[in-house]
């Protein structure tokens, strides 16, 4: 039995689905079901006894203790987090509450469980904390990619709260002996991605005939990781990773945001051409850049490749094709998640006036 937190979100739900393609070991899935948590992601598991969902907050210590005492998991994989930089700029308090206080309370419940567990379970037990490359700050074009030894230089409320959670996890290992592992991943993309992030937002807007908003000059560079590759990396780390270590997980796919969007448009032009024959790229507009926008992220994933023999299976070209096809094949999922509240947020964040 393993406990997955945040398992109804984008990466978490992909992980749960991926897990059952490789294992029959049961999962307890704890998720608060905020705006980005969606049980529809897991509808294929309806009636599957291997998966049990619990609606709740990682910050509810007593609830987490009850789950741990009753289910006695051999591992906890913590995906639960507020994760969108733009939202953290508009309202940082929720990020502090979930990413810092929530992680602390989850660790406190874990410490209670671990310290009274039999020695056989203690030897087997792992706490894997899923984090982000954004804790390392921003790179110049000539800088080497982020290694696990890079110092933390977070630049947004989101990345600062994730950096804090990473430090708390590390402290609980060194102070209390909790057998932790941390992964810091690059930008994920793939199925079930809530359409506030760049790729699903552009797919959704393109199909709806709306503008495709690009911050600033669009030259911000990110390393893109197909979500199912991320899931396979997490499985490797929880099973074979060295306790107390951090593993960077990347896709070896550095691309500027504008090139990502143009690639999405090109795939859509092929798979679902517009009736008038024009390219979806004609809908691209440049909008005012967000405050403190990091210029470049890049992950050096050598450590996980060399130690655990992991490498991504997808290139950006193969992964983006699968991603666009998934969104084209699942219009009902998109319709269900793009509620009125989501539209109000888009208007607040991007406004209605494109910038030159």
134 is catalytic: yes
Sign of the C-alpha dihedral computed for residues 115, 117, 121 and 127 taken in this order: negative
183: left (phi over 0), alpha (psi -120 to 50) or beta: beta
Which residue from 300, 264, 270 is spatially nearest to 283, judged by alpha carbons? 264
Which residue from 156, 169, 136 is spatially nearest to 58, judged by alpha carbons? 169
Residue 173, both tokens: 């290992």
Residue 163, both tokens: 């950096």
Whole-angstrom CA distances from 123 to 175, 180, 182, 193 are 17, 12, 18, 35
How far is C-alpha 165 from the chain's CA centre? 15
Catalytic residue among 57, 82, 86, 134: 134
| Radius of gyration of the chain, Cα coordinates, nearest whole angstrom | 20
Catalytic residue among 18, 82, 133, 294: 133
Residue carrying the six token digits 């208007």: 347
DSSP assignment string, 33-85:
--TT--GGGGGGGTT-TTEEEEE--TT-HHHHHHHHHHH--SEEEE------H
DSSP H helices, the chain, are 10-22, 61-71, 85-90, 92-95, 103-115, 119-124, 157-176, 198-208, 227-240, 257-271, 302-308, 316-329, 331-337, 340-350
Catalytic residue among 104, 136, 158, 247: 158
82 is catalytic: no
158 is catalytic: yes
Catalytic positions are 133-134, 158
């Amino acid at each position: 039995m393993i406990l997955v937190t945040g398992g109804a979100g984008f990466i978490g739900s992909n992980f749960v689905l991926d897990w059952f393609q490789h294992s029959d070991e049961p999962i307890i899935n704890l998720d608060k079901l905020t705006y980005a948590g969606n049980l529809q992601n897991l509808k294929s598991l309806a009636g599957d006894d291997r998966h049990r969902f619990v609606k709740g907050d990682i910050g509810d210590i007593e609830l987490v203790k009850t789950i741990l005492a009753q289910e006695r998991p051999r591992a906890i994989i913590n995906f639960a987090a507020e994760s969108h930089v733009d939202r953290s700029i508009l309202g940082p308090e929720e990020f502090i509450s979930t990413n810092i206080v929530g992680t602390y309370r989850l660790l406190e419940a874990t410490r209670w469980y671990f310290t009274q567990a039999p020695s056989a379970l203690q030897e087997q037990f792992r706490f894997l904390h899923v984090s982000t490359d954004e804790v390392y700050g921003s790179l110049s074009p000539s800088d080497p990619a982020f290694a696990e030894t890079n110092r933390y230089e977070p630049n947004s409320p989101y990345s600062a709260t994730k950096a804090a959670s990473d430090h708390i996890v590390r402290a609980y290992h060194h102070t209390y002996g909790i057998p932790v592992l941390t992964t810091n991943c690059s930008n994920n993309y793939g199925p079930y991605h809530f359409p506030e992030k760049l790729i699903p937002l552009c797919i959704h807007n393109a199909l709806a005939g709306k503008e495709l908003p690009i911050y600033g000059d669009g030259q911000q560079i990110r390393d893109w990781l197909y979500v199912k590759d991320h899931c396979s990396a997490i499985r490797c780390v929880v099973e074979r990773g060295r306790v107390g270590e951090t593993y960077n997980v990347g896709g070896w796919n550095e691309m500027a945001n504008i090139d990502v969007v143009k690639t999405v448009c090109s795939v859509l032009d092929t798979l679902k051409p517009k009736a008038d024959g024009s390219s979806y790229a004609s809908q691209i507009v440049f909008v005012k850049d967000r405050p403190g926008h990091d210029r470049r992220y890049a992950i050096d994933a050598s450590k996980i490749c060399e130690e655990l023999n992991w490498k991504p299976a997808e290139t950006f070209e193969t992964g983006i094709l699968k991603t666009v096809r998934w969104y084209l094949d699942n219009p009902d999922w998109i319709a269900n998640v793009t509620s009125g509240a989501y539209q109000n947020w888009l208007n607040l964040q991007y406004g209605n006036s494109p910038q030159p």
